[in-house]
Amino acid sequence: MSGLWRPRTLFMRLSLIFVAGLLAAQTLSFWLTMTERNEATMHVMVGYIGQEVTSSVALLDRLTPAEREEWLPKLGRRSYRFELGPGTSGMPPDAKLSQEIGASIAKDIGSKYKVTANAVPGEGEHLEVHLTLSDGTPLTIDMHPMHGIPLSPWLPLVLVAQLALLAGCAWLAVRLATRPLERLARAADTLGPDLTPAALPEDGPEEVARASKAFNSMQARIGIYMRERLQILAAISHDLQTPITRMRLRADMLEDETERARLQKDLKEMELLVREGVAYARTLHGADEKPVRVNPDALIESIVNDYADAGDHVTLEGRVGVAVTTRPQALRRILGNLVDNALKYSGGEEVNVEVSVDDARTQRWSIVVLDRGPGIPQELLDAVFQPFYRVENSRNRETGGTGLGLAIAKQLAQSMNATLTLRNREGGGLEARLTL
């Protein structure tokens, strides 16, 4: 089966199974019907030929030799004709239909005439039946038995219409059966960081209703857990502000400048970690910012100019050229985190921000942040998006940060229905691509 084409969707697979099954069943039914029809018709035809030939022989036996020549064409049929004469000799027929016709004629004519039958060599089934009339005249019945019964011209059209109807019914049945799965998949896709999708309708068949009810309960529980976690982190952040402030005031009163600087540095790192942790929790819970129509070129240019004004080597290339609908604050935070990482790990070398339109028809566009830093090992490109994960293991906040920058950027990108990917550049450095 590995070399065969297999449809990817459940809808196509079930449709092919149903249509193929119905087509096979319909073909088998048609074959059985036609076989039974042919056999029954052949049986009737053989008996009819025997009776017709018997009547014709009796008529010819009563006519004068001159009248027989005149009647021969009239007594002939489409599959056989009468000839005065001995005909062609040969072996007894071996074809089943020829044997049945010869036996039927001999049976119907009776013992008054000596009947013999033989096959005539050549293409197709050819049979001759020989007998002698009362006056001694030899009579030959030249026959070409007909196999099968011709179809009516309207029968193929009816069969095609029937197959089309069955295929349509199968398509409708599969569509109705798989639609709840599609609805469930869409609901799962929309269950993003905001956790506010519309509940699935709990109707339809019992299995579908149970699945929808379970999904609605699941997303409600997840929402409760996420809100509780955000409240806990917010409370911790709020409660930590007061002792951190008191500790900073006490540190300012220390006479030892060295100890005071160390303590202030520790407090600064603690405050940064608390702030970043709350920011990450908020991105997990979802962004309250509503999408608005903005000029992305002006927004990105202002971000790059802020870095340039601060003395950082950040350049900008490319333009979108049209207004887009997005979340500007989230976009600013993502781009800021990417540029900060690029500046931190590239050692202050130039960081380039490129903007390009991937597909104007679907309004897909990308922001690419390029640096010439050490890059990231290939096996860790996905792991760096995990919270508190740092490639740099020194635990130094100045060199490794909090480990939340890329995690926050990733969560914000997902809340915007965007994708954020990392790739090592040829010649060294890292490429961070945000596709919206």
User: What phi, psi does 154 have (nearest 5°)?
Assistant: -85, -10
Asked which of 286, 307, 333 is the last residue of a domain, the reply is: 286
Q: Do 363 and 381 belong together in one domain?
A: yes
Domain check: are 268 and 309 in the same one?
Answer: no
Number of domains in the chain: 3
pLDDT of residue 194: 55
Q: What are the DSSP calls for 153-210, one per residue?
A: TTHHHHHHHHHHHHHHHHHHHHHHHHHHHHHHHHHHHH--TT--PPPPP--SSHHHHH
The verdict on 310 and 417 lying in the same domain is: yes
What mean pLDDT do residues 33-46 have? 78
Query: If you average pLDDT over residues 57-67, what whole number do you get?
Result: 87
Same domain, 275 and 323: no
Does 324 fall in a domain? yes
208: containing domain: 191-286
pLDDT tens digits for range 315-347 = 999 888 888 888 888 899 899 989 988 888 877
- Residue 23 pLDDT exceeds 70: yes
415 and 369 in a common domain:
yes
- If asked whether residues 198 and 100 sit together in one domain, one would say no
Share of the chain above pLDDT 90, in %: 6
Burial class of residue 92 in the structure, from the number of CB atoms within 10 Å of its CB (0-12 exposed, 13-18 middle, 19+ buried): exposed
86 shares a domain with 196: no
Residues in Cβ contact with 316 at an 8 Å cutoff, skipping those fewer than 6 apart:
300, 301, 304, 352, 353, 354, 355
Same-domain pairing of 261 and 363: no
The residue ranking higher by pLDDT, 361 or 295, is 295
Q: What CATH number is associated with residue 260? A: 1.10.287.130
Both 226 and 295 in one domain: the answer is no
CA distance 365 to 418: 10
pLDDT average, residue stretch 126-139: 87
Per the DSSP assignment, residues forming a β-bridge with 367 are 355, 434
- Whether 277 and 294 share a structural domain: no
Is residue 155 in a domain?
Answer: no
Domain termination residue (choose one: 110, 143, 176): 143
Taking the model in full, what pTM does it have?
0.49
Domain boundary among 255, 286, 317: 286
3-state secondary structure of 290: coil
The reply to whether 43 and 110 lie within a common domain is: yes
**Tens of pLDDT along 291-319?**
889 998 999 999 999 988 888 888 999 88
- Residue 175, domain member (yes or no): no
Q: Is 167 inside any structural domain?
A: no
Strands 351-359 and 314-317, by their bridges, are parallel
Q: Distance (Å, rounded) from C-alpha 351 to C-alpha 372? A: 8
CATH of the domain at 54: 3.30.450
226 falls within a domain:
yes
- Phi, psi (rounded to 5 degrees) for 77: -125, 180
395 pLDDT higher than 50? no
Q: Is residue 115 part of a domain?
A: yes
- Helix (H), strand (E), coil (C) string for 34-103: HHHHHHHHHHHHHHHHHHHHHHHHHHHHHCCHHHHHHHHHHHCCCCEEEEECCCCCCCCCCCHHHHHHHH
C-alpha atoms less than 13 angstroms from C-alpha of 8 in its C-beta half-sphere: 0
Q: Is residue 304 part of a domain?
A: yes
- pLDDT tens digit sequence for 150-186: 667 787 788 888 888 888 888 888 888 778 877 777 7
Same domain, 344 and 269: no
What pLDDT sits at residue 280?
65
What's the CATH code of the domain at 338? 3.30.565.10
| 47 vs 296, higher pLDDT | 296
Asked whether residue 266 is domain-assigned, the answer is: yes
